[in-house]
Amino acid sequence: MSGLEATLADVAEQYDALQAELARPETAADPEALRRIGRELARLEPVVAAYRRLGRVRDELREARRLRDEEADEELRDLARDEVERLEAAEQSLLDELRLLLLPRDRNDERSVIMEIRAGAGGEEAALFAADLLRMYLRYAERQRWRTELMHLNETGIGGVKEAIVRIDGAGAYSRLKFEGGVHRVQRVPVTESSGRIHTSTATVVVMPEPEEIDVEIDEERDLRIDVKRSSGPGGQSVNTTDSAVRITHLPTGLVVEIQDEKSQHKNKAKALAVLRARLYERELERQRAAESATRKSMVGGGERAEKIRTYNFPQDRVTDHRIGLDLHNLPAILDGELDRLIDALATTDQAERLRALGDGADGDGNR
């Protein structure tokens, strides 16, 4: 029995056991058990239904093959050959459907996102590129009809961005944007360059699913040091007259978040806590990913931040995603938020990688 067949048999056995548990009188009297079993049955039902359709197709296929190989009447053999061809296509279609149904779902896919963008190597040009990336993602969110909130923005004097933190709120936001985490590189002639030479600069993008409070436990009294100071703008200029800037240090990990964008100390503290929770949750996710990578390493799903993932080449009007070797032209449109072709290609590649990890899906009878 193949790995796929064994997994399907286990799922069907779990489903039948849950059905039997649901029929017990004591279960009917327990609302929490009813909810739990109902959720599990709803999750398993599409897999079991397709698996049982597959069983019926295979029964018909065996009979059609027998007629094709043993029937004396030529006309019936021809009919059986056509039926075998039709049923083999149906069998393959069901196997493909089942592989997709069995793919582990990322429980964070439907969550909103907290995205951090930081200028990397390249000085002022890197900050200008970070500003371009920020606008690109804001425009993409707008195209998706997602809501955005700029939680923190540290700008340079000529419109660049040293660091930006933005919350992107919308169904499926993380499922689309999780492939964007990593080092982005730009090749172009900077506006500050008088000799016309092409420079290479970088910016780093971090994409974190926004956790619920119950996902990350923080004891504010024991785990946090909260410092309050006067907010300051570029060059140290005071932007308001109150001590509203909030700096939170998470003592167990040393993580530090500072927010000063709002005039209200309470709003800055709430934003800083939201960013801290996201960073702590991302740390835990990365620990889990590291454990999983011993058995499976997806090409695009891990979002390794240290590696260059994409190059934006202005002289050649080309964007290259290095993880999947994809080249796209019309760079201005991409920087204006037309990212679906890139993200679709990354999601498809990730799905294919995970399907390969699931197993090759032989038919279980040794026939084809």
Question: For residues 327 and 306, what is the distance between their CA atoms, to the nearest angstrom?
Answer: 21
Mind listing the pLDDT tens digit for each residue in 271-315?
888 898 898 888 888 777 676 554 444 445 443 444 699 999 999
Between 76 and 216, the more confident residue is 76
Question: For residues 171 and 141, what is the distance between their CA atoms, to the nearest angstrom?
Answer: 11
Token pair 């040393």 in the structure block, residue:
254
Token pair 């239904």 in the structure block, residue:
49
pLDDT(361) > 80:
no
Among residues 239, 234, 281, 273, the alpha carbon closest in space to that of 257 is found at: 273
Mind listing the pLDDT tens digit for each residue in 161-174?
999 999 999 988 99
Mind listing the pLDDT tens digit for each residue in 247-262?
899 998 889 998 887 7
Mind listing the pLDDT tens digit for each residue in 80-128?
999 999 999 999 999 888 888 887 777 788 888 999 999 999 899 999 9
Token readout for 208 is: 């974190």
Helix axes 340-358 and 3-22, enclosed angle (nearest 10) = 90
100-137 burial code (b ≥16 CB/10 A, e <16): ebbeeeeebeebbbbbbbbbbebebbbbbbbbbbbebb
Between 59 and 358, the more confident residue is 59
Please report which confidence band the pLDDT of residue 235 belongs to, taking 50, 70 and 90 as the band edges.
very low
Please report which confidence band the pLDDT of residue 153 belongs to, taking 50, 70 and 90 as the band edges.
very high
Long-range contacts of 221-229 (CB under 8 A, 24+ apart): 222/251, 223/250, 223/251, 223/252, 224/248, 224/249, 224/250, 224/251, 225/249, 225/251, 226/269, 228/265
Q: What is the pLDDT of residue 297?
A: 47
What residues are paired with 150 via a beta bridge?
A: 166
pLDDT(2) > 50:
yes
pTM above 0.85, yes or no: no
Residue 154 near residue 163, CB atoms below 8 Å:
yes
- CA distances, 109 to each of 37, 175, 177, 317 (Å): 23, 4, 9, 32
Token readout for 262 is: 């709002």
Among residues 90, 87, 93, the alpha carbon closest in space to that of 63 is found at: 87
Q: What is the pLDDT of residue 54?
A: 95
- Reported as half-sphere exposure (CB side, CA atoms, 13 A), residue 257 has a value of 24
Q: Per residue, what are the HEC states of the chain? A: CCHHHHHHHHHHHHHHHHHHHHCCHHHHCCHHHHHHHHHHHHHHHHHHHHHHHHHHHHHHHHHHHHHHHHCCCHHHHHHHHHHHHHHHHHHHHHHHHHHHHHCCCCCCCCCCEEEEEEECCCHHHHHHHHHHHHHHHHHHHHHCCCEEEEEEEEECCCCCEEEEEEEEECCCHHHHHHHHCEEEEEEECCCCCCCCCCEEEEEEEEEEECCCHHHCCCCHHHHEEEEEECCECHHHCECCCCCCEEEEEECCCCEEEEECCCCCHHHHHHHHHHHHHHHHHHHHHHHHHHHHCCCCCCCCCCCCCCCEEEEEECCCCEEEECCCCEEEECHHHHHCCCCHHHHHHHHHHHHHHHHHHHCCCCCCCCCC
Question: For residues 120 and 130, what is the distance between their CA atoms, to the nearest angstrom?
Answer: 8
